[in-house]
Amino acid sequence: MRDRFARLRRISLRPLSGKSPRSVAGQVFILQVALVVLLVVFAVFSLFLQSRRDTNAEAKRRSIAVAQTFAHSPGILTALRTPAPSKVLQPLTEAGRRSAGVDFVVVMDTHGIRYTHPMPSKIGKRFVGTIGPSLAGKVYTESVHGPLGHEVQATVPIKDTRGKVVALVSAGLKVKNVTNQVDRQIPIILAAGGGALGAATCVTALAGRRLRRQTHSLAPNEMTRMYEHHDAVLHSVREGVLIIDGNGVLLLANDEARRLLALPVDAEGKRVAELSSLEAEMVLLLVSGREATDEVHFAGPRLLAVNQRPTDRGGGPKGTVVTLRDSTELQAVSGRAQVARDRLKLLYDAGLGIGTTLDVVRTADELARVAVPRFADFVTVDVADAVLHGEEPATTATGMRRIAVSGIRDDHPLYEKDRLIDFLPSTPQARGYGTGRSELVTDLSTATGWRAQDPERAEGIVDYGIHSLIAAPIRARGIVLGVANFWRSKEHGPFDEEELSLAEELVARAAISIDNARRYSREHALAVTLQRSLLPRALPEQSALEVGYRYLPAQSGVSGDWFDVIPLPGSRVALVVGDVVGHGLHAAATMGRLRTAVHNFSTLDLPPDELLGHLDDLVGRIDQNETCPETPAAVVGATCLYAIYDPVTRRCAMARAGHLAPVLVLPDGSAAFPDLPAGPPLGLGGMPFQTAEFDLPEGSQLVLYTDGLIEDRTRDLDVGMELLRESLAGHPDRPPDESCQAVLDELLPDRPQDDVALLIARTRALSPDRIAGWDVPPDPAAVAKVRLAAADKLDEWGLSELGFGMELVLSELVTNAIRYGSEPIHVRLIHDRTLTCEVADASSTSPHLRYAATTDEGGRGLFLVSQLTERWGTRYTPQGKVIWAEQALPKTEDGGGPCGLNKAP
């Protein structure tokens, strides 16, 4: 066929030796050059406008940055309070102006009177510009005609520690300087445009040269004549010709091809797959684009010999040329063609039906079912038992688990499913497993090696009529995972060498899916184990809350949900619920890191908003550290809600970072979502978090949860939150553990798609008779009175044996507060699971434990406190600080200490 087209080409080109100066290539070249010139001119103009806009924007950004930096610089407020602010600020603004690259930095009071200016004569005069928005606390940019000329300036407020605007700072540049920067860029832009024009012209010339070579510099009329010659020859041959492009679209079909394939009149231009007159196998061949030589295919009653070759070998367009020859006389080979057709259909069905899930047993069962009865009468699949657990298989065929059995009848004598088998080395299964090559046994009755496995069962197999076996190893990525056994009985003839290849192809399609399932099982088991090890195994002992919780892992894999209950000093308890974005090992590991960080930050006794701020910084650092140029990591994001409940004051402080609002159930049974500022998710940075405080009546229930509890594809988020509220309302007396189960039963489907963490805490209150407090005057003589009052209270509580140690602790802490602290000073004793002593004052200075030298007169008090107590520390409050120390209660007869918390109603 190729020789015919070559001869046709030489015949067609002989009368066309003359070349027209107006060839198709020349016309296209002129049009392309004109288009390139227009595009380059437009691009240069666009770059000029973009550069000018960017320079103006940069000038504004620089002005804002300089003004804000100066407004927040240390010492600015101190300088403004001096009698002569200009004397202090003028050198600073001039130095800052020169280093920042702006033309002026002006500090003024709230009336617009300048303290500084590059021109000293302008100091003391009114600022030229708008100051109203800046007095309102906003950053304002504008373009004005000032003392230096036409200026672009930004005005920023200076605020004192209470947020009041006490002065203004304005920084900016002269428009002339901004314009000069644009003008300096014009030569670069023009040079780039000229370079682009030259490069584009070269590319256009090369494209025109290629077009000229492909069209042989023919004029349009010459190309028309050549097409007419080709068309006449193409439709006169008695062999079908098809031309198909790379997308499977039929570009050309001659008359013979239309006749042989019964193509419709409008077949050209349609996709081959859309032509209903073609057989399925013919369609698969035509769209595949592969080479074919005299392949036999059916076309209705005809048997066609098909040849197919690609068209892009000589640099032509991608596609294929197909020739068809009627070979109906070759009906003798039609039986073989039918067999090949059936085998191809079997492989096609196997590709669709095997590996639909990431389950080893399910995949093996799919392999067995697709091969029976079309290829074998019975199929058994045996894999190494370690594969079922996601582990690497052994090197020998021992410990093989039969995971799939399928056959045309159920009364066969083969080993049953789930049996553990140790194949002997003489068996085909062991040989195939060891070598990685398939074993063919055409006649089981005469073979001897396989009988050694189980002689009695082997005899029963032969008597049953099973006579032929193929043992094909299940091999993927260089590892043998098991063996697939294909058995034939008296209903079919024995297997042959050709069918051995078919069996290997079937098993190869299943092997990758089985190995993927094995790897998934291993990763899933590791992730679940990691996640369970990172979650709390038991809640800590505490008396402030009665807590119930549930954690349900997702069916599709582990996630990053977590919760915690953390006891804090002073009988307080922290509740935490969080959710890390994503699934898998990465999310579980990140969850563990965040949970550990929350525990560490909680030991600092930080307020909820400050703790979330530290956690936000940590997530940002994790994101930066895990990003690399080769494989950019997904952004680490998380949500968290942190709450602190104090049973002494019955107040709860909480803050959240992008997390869902909790549900508050009051003792009367009403349930609502408290007004709690949302805050951004962890890892975004830039925005502070806010703490909200609530008074909780004793017996209130605080419900914390993750989004997996309420999110569902079939309903909106608001609907899910309302369902949660309704499931909690009206049950004030229900224990938290029962409430957890009731909520899960009502809101969750049978197989949740996401992890679910649910924490329900019922509040308790510390009885007033377990709390004692005294105000202490700033007089050293008051220390003895406090010690005496504390000793009396300990006697009243039955804790006299702790009196000596507590008196020493009180003496040191109260003396330090009087000596180094500020009024008011208050002492409080709390009798709970431990005896807690708290000394509060209005100072924010915290004492530190140190080793005192032999010659030092002081410095040993805190050392005594640390030795006499279980633990001690400092907690900062808006009013100052609290120094606390805890002593363990003496053991009672039942082995525990007394607890004075009221039970929830």
Tens of pLDDT along 512-539? 888 888 888 777 777 767 666 667 777 8
Compute the distance between CA of residue 9 and CA of residue 15 in angstroms, rounded to an integer.
Answer: 11
Q: Across residues 535-563, what is the average pLDDT?
A: 80
pLDDT-derived band at 556 (thresholds 50, 70, 90) equals low
Per-residue pLDDT tens over the stretch 735-771: 999 999 999 988 887 767 778 889 999 999 988 888 9
Q: pLDDT-based confidence at 861, cuts 50/70/90?
A: low
Nearest to 595 by CA among 627, 569, 624, 619: 619
Q: What is the mean pLDDT of residues 65-72?
A: 82
Quick one: pLDDT band at residue 297, thresholds 50, 70, 90?
confident
**pLDDT given at position 179:** 59
The C-alpha atoms of residue 69 and residue 92 are separated, in whole angstroms, by 12
As to burial, measured by CB atoms within 10 angstroms (0-12 exposed, 13-18 middle, 19+ buried), residue 694 is middle
- What average pLDDT score do residues 652-680 get? 92
Summary mean pLDDT of the chain = 81
Q: Is the dihedral of CA 175, 176, 177, 179 positive or negative?
A: positive
> E strands within 175-226?
none
pLDDT of residue 19: 43
Distance CA 901, CA 768 (A): 10
**For the chain, percent of residues with pLDDT exceeding 70:** 82
Q: What is the pLDDT of residue 898?
A: 45
Question: For the chain, what is the largest distance between any 2 Cα atoms, rounded to a whole number of angstroms?
Answer: 128
CA distance 464 to 412: 7
Predicted confidence at residue 547, as pLDDT, reads 92
pLDDT for residue 30 is more than 60: yes
State mean pLDDT over 610-633. 74
Q: Per-residue pLDDT for 636 more than 60?
A: no
CA separation for the pair 696, 714 (Å, rounded): 35
So what's the pLDDT on residue 633?
47
| pLDDT value at 713 more than 60 | yes
Which has more pLDDT, 852 or 161? 161
> In terms of pLDDT, which residue wins out, 587 or 819?
819
Cα(457)–Cα(419) distance, integer angstroms: 14
CA 493 from centroid of its chain's CA atoms: 55
Which residue did the predictor score with more confidence, 384 or 582?
Answer: 384
**Considering only 242-251, 351-360, 549-558, 592-601, which range has the smallest mean pLDDT?**
549-558
Residue 6 C-alpha from the chain's centroid: 58
How many other CB atoms are found less than 10 A from the CB of residue 695?
A: 9
Reported as a single tens digit per residue, the pLDDT across 77-88 is 888 888 888 888
17 compared with 426, residue with greater pLDDT: 426
Three-state helix/strand/coil letters over 105-165 = EEEECCCCEECCCCCHHHCCCECCCCCHHHHCCCCEEEEEEECCEEEEEEEEEEECCCCCE
Rounded distance between C-alpha atoms, residue 368 and residue 377, angstroms: 10
Long-range contacts of 849-854 (CB under 8 A, 24+ apart): none
Residue 593, pLDDT above cutoff 50: yes
Split at pLDDT 50, 70, 90, the class of 899 is very low
State the CB neighbour count (10 A cutoff) for residue 448.
8
Q: Is the pTM of this model over 0.75?
A: no
Q: Which two tokens stand for residue 214?
A: 């492909």
- Please report which confidence band the pLDDT of residue 577 belongs to, taking 50, 70 and 90 as the band edges: very high
Average pLDDT of the segment spanning 323-349: 72
